[in-house]
């Protein structure tokens, strides 16, 4: 086992990893920016190395300084957390070259899943369903019509070079297709310098369901069941995540789990990863992408399986075999995570910065708060606005929802604006209670509260 | 605060401290002044005179190891702004560590080969008078 691990991250996830190391008897090294001098991760770690000024590019994404922090501290391994260097193959390679172990997948697997088209191809080869559509760019309207006819309407026209939702058009029937094709192609050309389009089946009212997998370096791959992340804001950022997925039967879980494991094996995956799927209203699922890192919402999986994902990642990186088999994985109860952010719901979720004057967090049985914040902590403008994750567990979903409401009621932050009032309203919503969710829920919910005055 | 009698405020504050008051409110004509006092606050030192000398740290610009320290450097050495004092070696590359101002070295805080974090003070220069 490693004796010293450097955590190449900040915020709650750095604290989370440091805690895991402490339990395992491993010394920790934090890296921090000048703006994070008083951040909890710096104070919690056994050692800390300042790697630059506040902005991410100067510090947490300053490759030279982070690598040198590994070298001068003598850390044997590096946990990247999520974001930052976690899905950068060149970082994993650079660590290798200075003799430190990257706690994550091999660079080849990061690269294989980083290219969306290649990832889809790999999933297909693994026998995993993918969203039906064209594999090659569509040259003209006639070809688009032919492909759309084959896969069935509605379809999406997507820019080959696209991203962030731009250059996407939804087509309901053949009569609309030629006009929308020309528009989408022109938009793609203007935005990305490439007018090539793909035609893809439009999955109606989809749920976002993802499978957590763990793979050791000895060929064992298991999955820890699913998480549902359909409650997303207008920028497709997840707000509430839960496990298990309420509409998941044992049979669907087994099929999706097996599909996720097959995808992981296809690319020689090691360590923790997440395979994301869209699930339609009739229970068909389609591969979306694979995240080759620890995810923000991993604690809901930990809550229902009892598996410490971060500690398992460290054991895998140290060469240990997985300590359990698929048949040992049991889902017990229901867990929900709410992302608490320093954003003002009354000002269109504008980021809020400043000193936290009061910090009162909920507790009790089945309540976990992962955070780097505390009373007196200064929220700097450079970083992601998430300041805490509230994770609740209950015997079943209704119990978990009740606990979420009670915990949000007891969560008080003063000095900065937070989204807690918004989370309370979301958790109180009858549709949320019933679990009738899809990825457009928040958009409709925001429409409902618009003009309702205060969001208290 | 256009025409505030600073002496009056100082007097009121020292009186309040002496008596152990927690808050002070002062009204002088149109001007209001208020202050919260902590019982344990030691009296403030008088404002320093206009600085004619200033101590400036020589901070490491990168994470690395201190190297190529100029052998002649010692406490008391005179240095010129921009002059190379040493290097910081990181991933096989040397980054110059230069004097941020002209003056006299008043302390050296790190040794050749020592690991440095970003911004770590390697030495301190007392700025030459009149260079402020």
Using the Cβ of B118 and the Cβ atoms of chain A, whether some distance falls under 8 Å is answered with yes
The per-residue pLDDT string of chain A (456 residues; one tens digit each, 9 = 90 and over) reads 999 999 999 999 999 999 999 999 999 999 999 999 999 999 999 999 999 999 999 999 999 999 999 999 999 999 999 999 999 999 999 999 999 999 999 999 999 988 777 888 899 999 999 988 887 888 889 999 999 999 989 999 988 766 555 667 889 999 999 999 999 888 888 877 888 888 989 887 788 899 999 999 999 999 999 999 888 877 777 899 999 998 788 899 999 999 999 999 999 999 999 999 999 888 899 998 999 999 999 999 999 999 999 999 999 999 999 999 999 999 999 999 999 999 999 998 999 999 999 999 999 999 999 999 999 999 999 999 999 999 999 999 999 999 999 999 999 999 999 999 999 999 999 988 988 777 677 777 777 765 443 333
β-pair type (A4-7, A77-79): parallel
Q: With contact defined as beta carbons under 8 Å apart, do A399 and A332 qualify?
A: no
The per-residue pLDDT for A249 is 86
Using the Cβ of B124 and the Cβ atoms of chain A, whether some distance falls under 8 Å is answered with no
- The nearest CA of chain A is from the CA of B16 a distance in Å of 27
Q: pLDDT tens-digit profile of A314-372? A: 999 999 999 999 999 999 999 999 999 999 999 989 999 999 999 999 999 999 999 99
Same-domain check for residues B97 and B117: yes
Length of chain A: 456
Same-domain check for residues B63 and B120: yes
- Per-residue three-class SS string for chain A: CCCEEEECCCHHHHHHHHHHHHHHCCEEEEEEEHHHCCCHHHHHCCEEEEEECCCHHHCCCCHHHHHHHHHHHCCCEEECCCCHHHHCHHHHHHHHHCCCEECCCCHHHHHHHHCHHHHHHHHHHCCCCECCECCCCECCHHHHHHHHHHHCCCEEEEECCCECCECCEEECCHHHHHHHHHHHHHHHHHHHCCCCEEEEECCCCCEEEEEEEEECCCCCEEEEEEEEEEEECCCCCEEEEEECCCCCCHHHHHHHHHHHHHHHHHCCCCEEEEEEEEECCCCCEEEEEEECCCCCCHHHHHHHHCCCHHHHHHHHHCCCCCCCCHHHCCCCCEEEEEEEECEEHHHCCEECCEECCEEECCCCCCEEEEECCCCCCEECCCCCCEEEEEEEEECCHHHHHHHHHHHHHCCEEECCCCCHHHHHHHHHCHHHHHCCCCCCHHHHHHHHHCCCCCCC
Residue B37 forms part of a structural domain:
yes
Same-domain check for residues B13 and B75: no
Residue B67 forms part of a structural domain:
yes
The per-residue pLDDT for A45 is 98
The per-residue pLDDT for A453 is 38
Chain A residues within an 8 Å CB radius of B65: 72
DSSP B76-109: T-EE-TT-EEEEEEETTEEEEEE-SSSEEEEEE-
Band (B100; pLDDT cuts 50, 70, 90): very high
Please name each of the domains of chain A with its CATH number: 4-103 (3.40.50.20), 141-201 (3.30.1490.20), 207-449 (3.30.470.20)
Of the candidates B90, B91, B117, the beta carbon closest to that of A49 is on: B117
Residue B87 forms part of a structural domain:
yes
Same-domain check for residues B43 and B65: no
Give me the mean pLDDT over the B71-100 stretch.
95
The per-residue pLDDT for B16 is 66
Same-domain check for residues B27 and B64: no
Q: Any idea what the Cα angle at residue A140 is, between residues A136 and A146, rounded to 5°?
A: 75
Q: Is B62 in Cβ contact with A64 (below 8 Å)?
A: yes
Residue B132 forms part of a structural domain:
no
The per-residue pLDDT for A14 is 98
Using the Cβ of A72 and the Cβ atoms of chain B, whether some distance falls under 8 Å is answered with yes
Using the Cβ of A59 and the Cβ atoms of chain B, whether some distance falls under 8 Å is answered with yes
Q: Is A52 in Cβ contact with B65 (below 8 Å)?
A: no
Which residues on adjacent β-strands are paired with residue B79? B103
Q: Is A69 in Cβ contact with B117 (below 8 Å)?
A: yes
Same-domain check for residues B27 and B80: no
Residue B97 sits in a domain whose CATH number is 2.40.50.100
Same-domain check for residues B68 and B22: no
Q: With contact defined as beta carbons under 8 Å apart, do A360 and A257 qualify?
A: no
Q: With contact defined as beta carbons under 8 Å apart, do A399 and A24 qualify?
A: no
pLDDT value at B46 more than 80: no
pLDDT value at B21 more than 90: no
The per-residue pLDDT for A167 is 66
Same-domain check for residues B14 and B36: yes
Of the candidates A34, A65, A73, the beta carbon closest to that of B62 is on: A65
- The nearest CA of chain B is from the CA of A68 a distance in Å of 6
Selected for mutation to probe chain A from B95, B118, B120, B122 (highest A CB count within 10 Å) is B118
Of the candidates A50, A66, A72, the beta carbon closest to that of B119 is on: A50
The per-residue pLDDT for B18 is 66
- Give the lowest-confidence range in A78-87, A174-183, B27-36, B96-105: B27-36
Same-domain check for residues B13 and B62: no
Give me the mean pLDDT over the B77-91 stretch.
95
Same-domain check for residues B76 and B121: yes
Of B26, B47, B68, the last residue of a domain is B47
DSSP B131: -
Instruction: Produce one character per residue of A12-36: b if its CB has 16 or more CB atoms within 10 Å, e if not.
Output: bbbbbbbbbbeebebbbbbbbbebb
Selected for mutation to probe chain A from B117, B119, B120, B121 (highest A CB count within 10 Å) is B117
Same-domain check for residues B36 and B67: no
- The nearest CA of chain A is from the CA of B108 a distance in Å of 20
Q: pLDDT tens-digit profile of A221-275? A: 999 999 998 888 777 778 999 999 987 888 999 999 999 999 999 999 999 999 9
Domain count, chain B: 2
Those of residues 2-41 in B touching chain A at CB distance below 8 A are none
Would you please indicate which residues of A are annotated as catalytic (active-site) residues? 293
User: Distance between CA A133 and CA A150 in Å, rounded?
Assistant: 9
Structural domain containing residue B79: 55-127
Q: Is A67 in Cβ contact with B115 (below 8 Å)?
A: no
Of the candidates A49, A50, A68, the beta carbon closest to that of B91 is on: A68
A282: left (phi over 0), alpha (psi -120 to 50) or beta: alpha
% of chain B with per-residue pLDDT over 90 = 55
The per-residue pLDDT for A443 is 76
Same-domain check for residues B113 and B76: yes
B93 → chain A, closest CA residue: A64
Q: With contact defined as beta carbons under 8 Å apart, do A60 and A34 qualify?
A: no
Chain A residues within an 8 Å CB radius of B118: 34, 49-52, 59, 65
Q: Is B63 in Cβ contact with A59 (below 8 Å)?
A: no
Band (B44; pLDDT cuts 50, 70, 90): low
User: What tokens were used for A366?
Assistant: 């089945």
């Amino acid at each position: 086992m490693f004796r010293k691990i450097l955590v190449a991250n900040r915020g709650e996830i750095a604290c989370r990893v440091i805690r895991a190391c402490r339990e395992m008897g491993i010394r920790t090294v934090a890296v921090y920016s000048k703006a994070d001098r008083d951040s909890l991760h710096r104070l919690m770690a056994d050692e800390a190395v300042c790697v630059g000024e506040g902005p991410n590019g100067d510090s947490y994404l300053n490759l030279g300084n982070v690598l040198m922090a590994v070298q001068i501290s003598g850390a044997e391994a590096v946990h990247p957390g999520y974001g930052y260097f976690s899905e950068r193959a060149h970082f994993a390679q650079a660590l290798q070259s200075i003799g430190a172990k990257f706690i994550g997948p091999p660079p080849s697997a990061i690269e294989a899943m980083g290219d969306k088209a290649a990832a889809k191809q790999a999933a297909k080869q693994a026998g995993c369903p993918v969203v039906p559509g064209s594999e090659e760019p569509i040259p003209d309207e006639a070809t688009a019509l032919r492909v759309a006819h084959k896969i069935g309407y509605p379809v999406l026209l997507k820019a080959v070079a696209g991203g962030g939702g731009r250059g996407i058009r939804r087509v309901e029937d053949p009569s609309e297709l030629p006009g929308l094709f020309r528009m989408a192609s022109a938009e793609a050309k203007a935005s990305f310098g490439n007018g090539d389009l793909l035609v893809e089946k439009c999955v109606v009212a989809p749920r976002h369901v993802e499978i957590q997998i763990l793979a050791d370096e000895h060929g064992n791959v298991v999955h820890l069941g699913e998480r549902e992340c359909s409650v997303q804001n207008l920028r497709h950022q997840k707000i509430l995540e839960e496990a298990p997925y309420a509409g998941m039967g044992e049979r669907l879980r087994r099929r999706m789990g097996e599909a996720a494991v097959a995808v992981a094996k296809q690319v020689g995956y090691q360590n923790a990863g997440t395979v994301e799927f869209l699930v339609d209203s009739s229970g068909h699922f389609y591969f979306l992408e694979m995240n080759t890192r620890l995810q923000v919402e991993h604690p809901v999986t930990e809550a229902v399986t009892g598996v410490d994902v971060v500690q398992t990642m460290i054991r895998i990186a140290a060469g240990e075999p997985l300590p359990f088999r698929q048949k040992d994985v049991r889902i017990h109860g229901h867990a929900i995570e709410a992302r608490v952010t320093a954003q003002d719901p009354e000002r269109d979720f504008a980021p809020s910065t400043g000193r936290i004057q009061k910090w009162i967090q909920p507790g009790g049985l089945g309540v976990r708060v992962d955070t780097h914040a505390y009373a007196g902590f200064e929220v700097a403008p450079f970083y992601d606005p998430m300041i805490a994750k509230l994770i609740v567990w209950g015997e079943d979903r209704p119990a978990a929802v009740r606990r979420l409401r009670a915990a949000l009621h007891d969560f008080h932050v003063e000095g900065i604006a937070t989204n807690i009032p918004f989370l309370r309203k979301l958790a109180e919503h009858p549709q949320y209670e019933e679990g009738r969710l899809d990825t457009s829920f928040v958009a409709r919910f925001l429409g409902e509260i618009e003009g309702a005055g205060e969001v208290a | 605060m256009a025409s505030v009698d600073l002496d009056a405020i100082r007097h009121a504050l020292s009186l309040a401290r002496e008596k152990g008051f927690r808050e002070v409110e002062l009204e002088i004509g149109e001007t209001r002044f208020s202050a919260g006092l902590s019982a344990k606050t030691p009296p403030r030192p008088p404002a320093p005179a206009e600085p004619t000398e200033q101590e400036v740290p020589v901070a490491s610009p990168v994470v690395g190891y201190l190297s190529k320290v100029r052998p002649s450097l010692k406490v008391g050495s005179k240095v010129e702004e921009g002059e190379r004092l040493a290097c910081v070696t990181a991933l096989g590359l040397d980054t110059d560590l230069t004097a941020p101002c002209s003056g006299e070295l008043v302390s050296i805080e790190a040794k050749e080969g020592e690991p440095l974090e970003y911004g770590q003070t390697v030495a301190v220069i007392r700025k030459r008078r009149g260079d402020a």
